[in-house]
Structure formats: structure tokens, C-alpha cells
Amino acid sequence: MSNDGPLLIIISSPSGAGKTTLTTRLRERVANLRFSVSHTTRRARPSEQDGREYHFVSRETFERLIQLDEFLEYAEVHGNLYGTSRREVETAKDARGLIFDIDHQGARQIKSVYPEAVSVFILPPSMSVLEQRLRGRASEDEATVQRRFAAAKLEIGHYGQFDYLLVNDDLEDATVRLVSIFRAEECRRQRMARPAEGLLAEGRAPGRTP
Ligand code: ADP
Ligand code: 5GP
């Protein structure tokens, strides 16, 4: 474990549980957080911009990037390919934190490369609320909503691999819990070893009384 570089935080959930909403709120409240922009073969939603939410690419381009070993991890989710490019981590060295919004397969792969990464799984308060939120987003057709709702149960079955579980009931309260997780993780001894060692070195400097 190292205290160098950004704190890597993985945020996963069944589709519609609120990870985009909570991630946005976390970034509003903690300065200098970077969002890892994944590549995907799915079509952009009307509110999405290429390069902001995702790099939207064709399946051919995605497969070429796999061949070039550009991805730290990738997976097929809901019939589309999604992947985190190595570049996302390499260019985030000066950030305080780097957020990955990825599924359980990606979370497992990132953890195997960076065991110090912190993973948070967002849960809806109930399955009926999840269904309402999926419909409320109104950016997908009914078949997509149904497919994602059916996939949600399978996704929730993977909760055991995550470090933290966060029920997204009241939005403000869930946001405060997510910020608290981030802040507490920043205080881990392993991440704070460098400042502690700095104080000890200062104490040993010539001219200092012991
Ligand atoms: P995800 O990124 O996990 O697919 P979104 O963040 O897009 O989910 O949220 C799905 C929908 O639920 C959105 O319309 C969002 O505004 C709404 N939503 C998210 N969190 C809450 C909450 N705590 N209470 C009520 N609605 C919420
Ligand atoms: P959406 O299409 O709703 O944006 O995302 C669908 C699912 O793909 C979500 O569970 C999201 O976390 C996941 N996802 C997004 N980007 C990546 C990625 O780079 N890798 C993996 N493994 N999953 C991703």
C-alpha cells in the first residue's frame, strides 16, 4: 500500500440506484477529484457528451484498443463493452482522488491491480424504488429499463466483494455518508505515513533539541 498518488475509489451499483448522482455530489464537495472517463460501445444519452461521461466508440475501435492492451480493465455489461483505459490512472497523478464508476467485474479487476483501491456499492432502498428510478430517468426505452431491472438482482448478488455498502435512501444523507467514507479513507495510517515520517525527520534535523 502506498500513500502516493490519488485515492482510488470505485463506485458500483445496479443501474438506477444513484451512483451518477452521488458521484457528482461527491465531486461538488471534495476538491480536486477526478472522474475516470471510461470507453463504451453504448450509444450516448441525450444529456451525455463525448469525453465527459464516456468516450463513445464503435465496437471495432473498442476491440482494437483491447488488442493494443490499452485497458486496465474491461467488461461486457448490458450487451455493451465498457472499459477503463490505463491513461485514466496515468494522467490523474496530481488528483486527490480518482473515481471509477464501473460494474462488479471491473471493480474486481481494479482491486486485483490496486488492492488499496476503496470500493463502495450503492444499494437502492427497495426494488420498487429502483424500478421507479430507472423509469424516472426517462432516457431509455421500456425494453432497456426491463433488462436493467432484471440485471439489478444479479448485480446486487455481488455486494460481498465491496468494502462499503451505502443505501441511497435520502439523497443528502447518502451524500454525507459517501463524503465521510472518502475522508475516513484519506486518514488511513498507510496514506498518512509520509506526513508522519516528515515530522520525525524534522525532529531529527540538526540544531533541533531532542
Ligand atoms: P445510476 O448512475 O446508478 O444508474 P442515477 O444517478 O442516474 O443512477 O439515478 C437514477 C435516477 O434516480 C435519476 O433520475 C436520479 O435523479 C434519481 N435519484 C438518485 N438518487 C436519488 C435519491 N436518493 N432519491 C431520489 N431520487 C434519486
Ligand atoms: P451506464 O450504461 O448506465 O452508464 O453503465 C452501465 C454499467 O456499466 C454500470 O454498472 C457502470 O458502472 C458500468 N461501467 C461503466 N464504465 C465501466 C468501465 O469502464 N468498466 C466496467 N467494467 N464497467 C463500467
DSSP 116-184: T-EEEEEE-S-HHHHHHHHHHT--S-HHHHHHHHHHHHHHHTTGGG-SEEEE-SSHHHHHHHHHHHHHH
pLDDT band for 1, please (50, 70, 90 cuts).
very low
Residue 166: per-residue pLDDT:
98
**Helix, strand or coil, per DSSP, at residue 185:** helix
The pLDDT tens digits for 52-79 are 999 999 999 999 999 999 999 999 998 8
Cβ 124 under 6 angstroms from ligand 1: no
The pLDDT tens digits for 141-181 are 888 888 888 999 899 999 999 999 999 999 999 999 999 99
pLDDT band for 208, please (50, 70, 90 cuts).
low
Between residues 92 and 2, the one the model is more confident about:
92
What homologous superfamily does CATH list for 7-35+96-203?
P-loop containing nucleotide triphosphate hydrolases (3.40.50.300)
- Residue 140 CA to ligand 1 centre (angstroms): 14
pLDDT band for 139, please (50, 70, 90 cuts).
low
pLDDT band for 204, please (50, 70, 90 cuts).
confident
Round to whole Å and give the CA distance between 131 and 133: 5
What does pTM read for this prediction? 0.93
- Residue 204 CA to ligand 2 centre (angstroms): 49
Domain ranges in the chain are 7-35+96-203
- Residue 40 CA to ligand 2 centre (angstroms): 8
Nearest CA to ligand 2 atom 2: 42
- Residue 19 CA to ligand 1 centre (angstroms): 7
For cell 533539541, the residue is 209
| Ligand 1 atom nearest to 174, measured from its CA | 23
Closest-CA residue to 84 (of 92, 75, 93): 75
Round to whole Å and give the CA distance between 67 and 80: 17
Cβ 20 under 6 angstroms from ligand 1: yes
